[in-house]
Amino acid sequence: MESLKILLVSPEAVPYAKTGGLADVAGALPKAIAGHGHDVKLIIPLYRQVHRNNYGLEKVGQDLNVTTAGRVENFRIHKAPTGIDRFEAWFVEHDGFFDRPELYRDPKTGGDWADNDERFSFFARAVLKACQSFDFIPDIIHCNDWQTGLIPALLKVDKTYNDFNRTASIFSIHNIAYQGNFPEESFAKLGLYNSLFAPGQGFEFWNKVSFLKAGVWYSDMINTVSETYAREIQSSNEFGYGFEGILKERSADLHGIINGIDYDIWNPAIDTLIPVMFTPDKPAGKKKCKAALRKALGLPQARKDVPIVGIISRLADQKGFDLIAEAADELLSLDLQIALLGTGDQKYHDLFQALNKKYPKKIAALLEFNNQIAHLIEAGSDMFLMPSRYEPCGLNQLYSLKYGTIPIVRRTGGLADTIENANPVKGTGTGFVFNRYDSKEMLAAIKFALEVYRDKNIWEIMMLRAMRQDFSWDMSAVKYLELYEKALKKKTMISL
Ligand code: ADP
């Protein structure tokens, strides 16, 4: 394959700004792709959260502008080296839109920023303008989630972007429930022909303007982050959130590629954020991490070896917290301790604050975003609980494997594709998997895990098997490159 010019557009990316798994993917995939000899730029908004000095950002070029919502908006591009050959990071600086306390949400109202439609339609145009003015017309523009959904549409319907007539667009869905749907009046702000907003066209979704629909509709290829989730979101409203029909129509172009893991960051052999490093050959350090975790969270040392179950998550219904809420008393009567790290819905903050008070010896719930503690929980826990209602890919179960922390998961999406249920008799499996979204089934899987835990030999073999699993980006990057090639072929055929 000849060397390609690739632009990865994302609303967030590690190490610059992160709210969830998309950031991990957007930080790691470009590295892996550049490693294959392609020229990759990542572009994200320059949020307040990005530490400009830490990452060597430099303002480049002149003031640029685009028109959004009928206003001319000025912006600047910053660039930063990434330390990786052929991979550079670009940032769109517009303080009015991005110098805010949170990325997507207004902490004062608890809801989304009221002008998210303007922020991300501005971002889409600014990204394309930046390419034009820095003379980087990519072969592939790889867009991620609704915030970037306008880009594939602009490439197809706005002649300002004729320079990109050979550029193929990919749209990746990291979570179909986040759709970027705005009131009908929003459409006028996008600067497109009114006729494009109509049923049977690419923007209209139940009388709303949907950025997600635009991404799905206009991109040359679509993918999501596991094969099972790719099937699930076409199968029913339960998973597709209204997009099942639209996706089914594009079934031939919809692919599932499991996320890789950045083992430069999530790897107990080299992790500087944990007190003692460890490997499958020298796993002893894990015990010290467990003691350090107890100390850090104030969980008392039990008389005997009690397993710690870790949870790191957005506190949202998607992640199965209603099951945990339902089962809380029985769960906390079991022979285990829980180390939870998370932020999200107020009802779950209230729940875990109450459980902290009621069961101080059994659960420590830290309700904040804290990367260092996330690493410590992965390293120091024995098991990791992810009872998700749906899970596009899920990353923490994969980090857990690497740290010898056995995942307990529900069989859905990426969890189904990455965790094999334990069979101690056959000596197979990397975790504990339950099927139905049901608190009793979840409890049964946890009880099964606790039983196996008591047999130290079997447990250790399982831990080592988990630690030796390989979910590095190598495999997934190759699949993305195949997808890019398919998109380019399709694009060439259409333009012939
Ligand atoms: P999602 O993107 O749906 O939130 P993923 O499992 O794909 O779920 O990715 C979540 C990422 O965010 C993981 O890297 C996880 O460690 C991290 N994370 C979630 N909540 C927190 C938190 N409170 N503190 C630190 N990291 C967190």
Look at ligand 1, atom 12, and give the residue with the nearest C-alpha.
20
Residue written as tokens 């980090």? 399
Q: Is 343 in the pocket of ligand 1 (CB under 6 A)?
A: yes
Centre of ligand 1 from the C-alpha of residue 101, in Å: 19
pTM of structure: 0.94
Q: Are 142 and 172 in contact (CB under 8 A)?
A: yes
Distance from C-alpha of 149 to C-alpha of 153, rounded to nearest angstrom: 7
Q: How far apart are CA 224 and CA 228, in angstroms?
A: 9
Beta partners for 383?
A: 309, 406
The Å distance, Cα 219 to ligand 1 centre, comes to 27
| 250 and 356 fall within a common domain | no
21 CB under 6 A from ligand 1? Answer: yes
Residue at 269 is within a domain: no
Minimum-distance ligand 1 atom for the alpha carbon of 367: 23
Question: Most distant CA pair in the chain: distance in Å?
Answer: 73
Distances (CA, A) of 370 to 102, 147, 340, 355, 451: 15, 25, 11, 20, 31
Q: Is residue 273 part of a domain?
A: no
Distance 166 CA to ligand 1 centre (A): 36
Rounded-to-integer distance, Cα 197 and Cα 190, Å:
11
Task: Compute the distance from residue 314 Cα to the ligand 1 centre, in Å.
Answer: 6
**Ligand 1 touching residue 388 (CB < 6 A):** no
Q: Is residue 94 part of a domain?
A: yes
95-120 burial, b at 16+ Cβ within 10 Å, e below that, comes to eebbebeebbeeeeeeebbebbbbbb
pLDDT digits (tens, 9 = 90+) for 190-211: 999 999 999 999 999 999 999 9
Could you tell me if 208 and 241 are in contact, meaning their C-beta atoms sit under 8 angstroms apart?
Answer: no
Q: How many domains does the chain have?
A: 2
- Verify whether ligand 1 is closer than 6 Å to residue 378 (CB atom): no
Residue 323 CB contacts under 8 Å (≥ 6 apart), including other chains: 387, 437, 438, 439, 442
Q: Check if 369 has its Cβ closer than 6 Å to any atom of ligand 1.
A: yes
Ligand 1 within 6 A of CB of 341 = yes
The whole-angstrom separation of Cα 24 and Cα 22 is 5
CB of 24 sitting under 6 A from ligand 1: yes
Residue 371: predicted pLDDT? 95
Say how many Å lie between the CA of residue 30 and the centre of ligand 1: 20
Instruction: Report yes or no: 452 and 459 within 8 Å, Cβ to Cβ.
Output: yes
Q: Which residue has the CA at smallest separation from atom 24 of ligand 1?
A: 369
From the alpha carbon of 396, which atom of ligand 1 is closest? Answer: 6
Nearest alpha carbon to residue 224 among 177, 173, 258: 173
239 shares its domain with 328 = no
342 lines ligand 1 (CB under 6 A): yes
* Same domain? 105 vs 196: yes
In angstroms, the CA 145 to CA 234 distance is: 17
Q: ω into residue 15 within 30 of 0, thus cis? A: yes
Is the domain of 97 the same as that of 243? Answer: yes
In-domain check, residue 265: no
Q: How far apart are CA 478 and CA 89, in angstroms?
A: 21
Nearest residue (CA) to ligand 1, atom 9: 21
Residues of the chain predicted below pLDDT 70: 494-496
What CATH number should be reported for the domain holding residue 128? 3.40.50.2000
Among 395, 405, 410, 418, say which to mutate for ligand 1: greatest number of ligand atoms within 8 Å of CB: 395
- Do the domain assignments include residue 99? yes
> How long, in residues, is the chain?
496
Shared domain for 63 and 122, answered yes or no, is yes
Q: Which atom of ligand 1 is nearest to the CA of 341?
A: 23
The residues that bridge with 15 in the sheet, in sequence order, are none
What pairs with residue 52 in β-bridges?
none
Q: Does the C-beta of 320 come closer than 6 Å to ligand 1?
A: no
Q: Are residues 122 and 142 in the same domain?
A: yes
Asked if 127 contacts 44 with a C-beta cutoff of 8 angstroms, the reply is no
Q: Residue 368 is part of which domain span? A: 285-470
Q: Which pLDDT score, from 0 to 100, does residue 59 have?
A: 98
Q: Is residue 426 part of a domain?
A: yes
- Which atom of ligand 1 is nearest the CA belonging to 391? 3
Give the tens place of pLDDT for each residue, 331-381: 999 999 999 999 999 999 999 999 999 999 999 999 999 999 999 999 999
Whole-number Å distance between alpha carbons of 207 and 349: 34
Query: What pLDDT, on the 0 to 100 scale, is given for residue 73?
Result: 98
